[in-house]
Every structure is written in structure tokens, then in C-alpha cells.
Amino acid sequence: MGLGSSTGRGRCSSTGKKALLVSCKSLLPKDVWSASCYEILLAQQLLQKFGFCQDRIRCMTNRSSRKVDMLRSDMLKEGIDWLVDGAKPGDHLVFFFANFVSFQGLLQEALQENLMDRLPPGATLYAIFDGNHSGAVLDLQHALSCSFMGKSRSLGSLKLGVRAFHGCMKGNGQATVLQIAHEFAGFVDLSAIMLPTLHIPGLLTLTFIYAIESCGSRIRLSKLIDLMQESARTLQDSLTELLSIPLPEDEGTCVAPFVIQVLHAGELRVQFGQNKGGDIFMTVAYRGVSFRNRVLLSRETRSVGSWQVGLSLPSVSCNRHRSPSHRILV
């Protein structure tokens, strides 16, 4: 089956909840994107746990076995049109975007013209971006940030930095927009800053699910950000430890395989491991969806030299003041 969008089938009892899930990797020439589906399959399961019905969740991704498939920008616009069509006060909308790398400007433009300006007063949009430097996609005034000690601060502080999305709230009246993203925060080992960097795919999605599975679907914002930060550090520290294990000099020598269970909360399981070939892999399982032995770094690539793990921390921001005790998606 080729690339396209899919809408789950089934009866819907919660008409006020709707979600568009998009997973893409990088901007390619002629305004097209290459796509994957790892994160959105996990996000789809999580939203169903929050009461989003299958026919109110639309997934746009690459479901083809071919190596190259594209997701066009006009398909993204079509998906956004579906998301806002019929939206009314009190509705909860989710826009989830994963795996983007280099087309933040185009994404901002698409969201401004097709989504942000069309939100009805009284509706709530949850914009979830699972990609490096994704915290700047929406430039929202109030930021719930967390210290390196894991303590959340109030959602009332003005977000600093370059405002890359001027006028993003124009025309949306009294709609509430909550952005959940993650910011690149440096490297685990500052002494190795020039080393090649390995990032954990789907880091924000995994930490978001971990927080929900740890506290339940009525989790508060303050607890959400703390648990996301905690699990992000756990994942990154565990991967750093794996990368520090030396490989045998003889390329034909097998290594001792092993598996480390990194995260375990509710229905979520995340494991890192090393196979006998020396590849570092990751396994994720959540609510019947599983990705087993997904290679993060092959032995051949590892043997070239030392590697560094990029450190990303979650960030939550909103267009208006929200108490840290505010609940999400309810």
C-alpha cells in the first residue's frame, strides 16, 4: 500500500475530540517529505486511551515497503482542514507531528494559515511536536519549564528567545493552545562535544506516554513535565552507558548480547540492548503495538569512533496562563 492518509474505523462516542497525527523525517526538494510511522502508531494508542475514537483520529504517514515515499505539503493542508472542520467551543483537538528535521518554517506557515487562525473560541488545541528544537514551532507566551533538578516552575513566565512565529495567535479568539515539545539542551558529556551525535527516535512520544502511564489520564501539567524530564534523562543515560562499552578489535568476534529494560510503566515497555553482532538496538511495546530490535547504531558505524548522545528536555508552553495543576486532554 502506498503512502497516504488513513482514518481509523469504528463508532465514536466522544465527538468533541479529534486528532491529526503526522510523521515525517526531512524536507526534500520540490516541497515533499519522506515519512515514517513509528511515533504516530504509539500516539494513536495513547489517544484512544484518552477516549479519542478511531474514526476521529487521522494518521498521515508512509505505510509502503518501498524505501522512498513522499508526503506532500498539500496532503498536510488537507489533513488540517479535516481537523478543524466542524470544530466548536469545548472541543479538544490534537495536532501531532513527529520526526521533522529541517522544515520548521514551512510547518509554521502551514499551521498559521490553516490551523491557528481557524480555531473557534473556547476550543483547545494540543500541539505535540516530537523533533529536535521543536519548542520554537509555536511561539507561545507562557512557558512551563523545568530546572535541571526536575522541579517545575509556574506557567506564568514569559518565554525568552527568538520569536520565530510572529502573530501566531492572530485570529483565534479565545481558543487555548498548549504546545508540548522538546528542546535540545546540549550533550551528556560536554568534553565530547565534537563527537557524532545519536538521538533517540521518538523521545518525546516515549516520555509523554511514560508520564501518562505512571500517573493516569488525569495527570497535571507539573507532574507531566517532571516525569517527561525524568524519563528523558533515564533513556539518554542508559544509551550513553551502552555506547561506552568497547567493541572487540576483531570485526568477526561476536559480543555478549544483553537487554536492559529502561522504562516500564503501565502498558509501556522500552528496552535497549546489544546483539551478538555488536549492534545497539531498541525495543518498544505499548498497548499491542511493538517495534522489536530496532537498530539505533550498527557495529560498523560504532567502530568508526566514539559517539555522543544528544540531550533533549521536554517543554510545555501555552498562549495564556495555565496553572501547573491544570489537567490535560480532559
Q: pLDDT tens digit string along 79-115?
A: 999 999 999 999 999 999 887 555 566 677 778 788 8
Per the DSSP assignment, residues forming a β-bridge with 187 are 310
The closest of 34, 167, 40 to 102, measured between CA atoms, is 34
Query: What's the pLDDT band for 326 if we cut at 50, 70, 90?
Result: confident
Which residue is associated with the grid cell 486528532?
Answer: 19
- The pLDDT score that the predictor gives to residue 20 is 95
Which SS3 state, helix, strand or coil, does residue 284 take?
Answer: strand
pTM above 0.85, yes or no: no
Q: pLDDT tens digit string along 194-235?
A: 778 888 888 999 999 999 999 987 888 889 988 998 999 999
The closest of 24, 191, 158 to 104, measured between CA atoms, is 24
Q: pLDDT tens digit string along 151-162?
A: 443 333 333 332
The closest of 165, 115, 111 to 140, measured between CA atoms, is 165
- The pLDDT score that the predictor gives to residue 98 is 84
Residue range 120-127: mean pLDDT, rounded = 93
**Dihedral in degrees, nearest 10, Cα atoms 148, 152, 158, 163:** 60
| Nearest-angstrom CA–CA distance, 281 and 228 | 22
Cβ contacts of residue 251 below 8 Å, gap of 6+? 299, 303
Q: pLDDT tens digit string along 20-40?
A: 998 876 555 445 555 457 888
Per the DSSP assignment, residues forming a β-bridge with 58 are 7, 20
Per the DSSP assignment, residues forming a β-bridge with 308 are 197
Backbone angle region of 193, left / alpha / beta, with phi > 0 → left and psi within -120 to 50 → alpha: alpha
Which SS3 state, helix, strand or coil, does residue 231 take?
Answer: helix
Cβ contacts of residue 90 below 8 Å, gap of 6+? 16, 122, 123
More confident residue, 240 or 329: 240
Amino acid sitting at position 144 = L
- Whether 118 shows a pLDDT value over 80: the answer reads yes
Per the DSSP assignment, residues forming a β-bridge with 98 are 23, 130
Q: pLDDT tens digit string along 126-141?
A: 999 887 666 667 878 7
- Whether 149 shows a pLDDT value over 50: the answer reads no
